[in-house]
A and B are shown apart, each in its own frame.
Chain A
Amino acid sequence: MNPPEVAAAPRTLILVGNPNVGKSVLFGALTGRYVTVSNYPGTTVEVTRGSAEIGGLRWQVLDTPGTNNLLPMSEDEQVTRDILLREPEYVCLQVCDAKNLRRGLLLASQLAEAGVPFALALNMADEAAARGFRIDAERLAGALGVDVVPTVAVQRSGLPQLQARIPAARASSFRPCYDEAIESALSELEPLIPEGRLSRRSLGLMLLSGDESIHPWIASRVSDAGRERIEEVRRTLASRYPESLRFVVARQRLGAVDRLHDQVVTRGKVSSGSAFARKLGAWATDPVKGIPILLLVLAVAYLFVGVFGAKTAVDFLENTIFYDRVVPWTEALLRFLVPAGPVQDFLVGPPGRAFRETDGFIIGRYGLVSMGLAYGMAIVLPIVATFFLAFSVLEDSGYLPRLAVMVNRVFKWMGLNGKAVLPMVLGLGCDTMATMTARIMETRKERVIVTLLLALGVPCSAQIAVIFAMLQGLSFAASIWFTAVIVLVLFLVGWLAARVIPGRGSDFVLELPPLRVPQFSNVIVKTLARMEWYLREALPLFVLGTLILWGLDRTHLLVLVERAAAPVVVGILQLPEQSASAFILGFLRRDYAAAGLFQIYQPYMSTGTMTRIMEIQVTVALVTVTLFIPCIANFLMILKERGWRTGLAISAFVLPFAVGVGATVNLLMRRYY
Chain B
Amino acid sequence: MPAIVARQERCPLCGAGFDAEGQGCRPSCPLASGCRVICCPSCGYSFPQETGWAGRLKGWLERHREERR
Contacts and interface: CB of A to CB of B under 8 A. Distances in A.
B13 A400 contact: yes
Given A19-B42, A533-B36, A103 B16 contact: yes
Contacts of A565: none
Contact of A100 (B16, B30, B45, B49): B16
Nearest to B45: A440
Contact of B53 (A439, A532, A537, A637): A532
Most A CB within 10 A of own CB, among B25, B41, B47, B58: B47
Nearest to A509: B43
Nearest to A530: B48
Given A525-B54, A525-B57, A637 B31 contact: yes
A100 B48 contact: no
Interface in A67-117: 68, 97, 99-100, 103
Consensus secondary structure, chain A interface:
helix
A532 B54 contact: yes
Contacts of A19: 16, 18, 41-42
Contact of B44 (A124, A440, A533, A640): A440
Contacts, number: 108
A532 B52 contact: yes
Contact of A441 (B30, B44, B50): B44
A97 B42 CA distance: 13
B46 A439 contact: yes
B48 A529 contact: yes
Contact of A437 (B30, B31, B45, B55): B45
A396 interface: yes
B43 A510 contact: yes
Given A18-B16, A100-B15, A528-B53, A640 B43 contact: no
A395 B61 CA distance: 19
Interface residues of A, number: 42
A103 B16 CA distance: 9
A210 interface: no
A131 to B, nearest CB: 11
B37 A436 contact: yes
B57 A513 contact: no
Contacts of B14: 401, 510-511, 513
B44 A439 contact: yes
Contacts of A66: 41
B2 to A, nearest CB: 12
B6 interface: no
A395 B54 contact: no
B62 to A, nearest CB: 9
Contacts of A511: 14-15, 43
Interface in A43-78: 66, 68
Contacts of A510: 14, 43
Contacts of A20: 16-19, 41-42
A536 interface: yes
A437 B46 CA distance: 5
B17 A97 contact: yes
A99 B15 CA distance: 9
A436 to B, nearest CB: 5
Nearest to A437: B46
A313 interface: no
B61 A528 contact: no
Interface string A510-544: 11010000000100111011101100110000000
Given A521-B61, A524-B57, A536-B34, A529 B50 contact: yes
B42 A436 contact: no
A529 B55 CA distance: 8
A639 B44 CA distance: 19
Contacts of B47: 526, 529-530
A377 B13 CA distance: 29
Contacts of B46: 433, 436-437, 439-440
Given A100-B17, A526-B50, A537-B35, 11 more contacts: A18-B42, A21-B17, A66-B41, A99-B17, A100-B15, A433-B46, A511-B43, A524-B57, A526-B47, A633-B31, A637-B31
26 contacts: A20-B18, A99-B17, A100-B16, A436-B25, A436-B37, A437-B45, A439-B39, A439-B44, A511-B14, A511-B43, A513-B15, A525-B54, A526-B12, A526-B47, A528-B50, A529-B48, A529-B55, A530-B48, A532-B36, A532-B48, A536-B34, A536-B36, A537-B31, A640-B26, A640-B29, A640-B30
Interface of A: 18-21, 66, 68, 97, 99-100, 103, 124, 395-396, 400-401, 422, 433, 436-437, 439-442, 510-511, 513, 521, 524-526, 528-530, 532-533, 536-537, 633, 636-637, 639-640
User: Which 9 pairs from chain A and chain B are nearest by CB?
Assistant: A529-B54, A528-B54, A20-B18, A440-B44, A533-B48, A640-B29, A529-B48, A529-B50, A513-B15
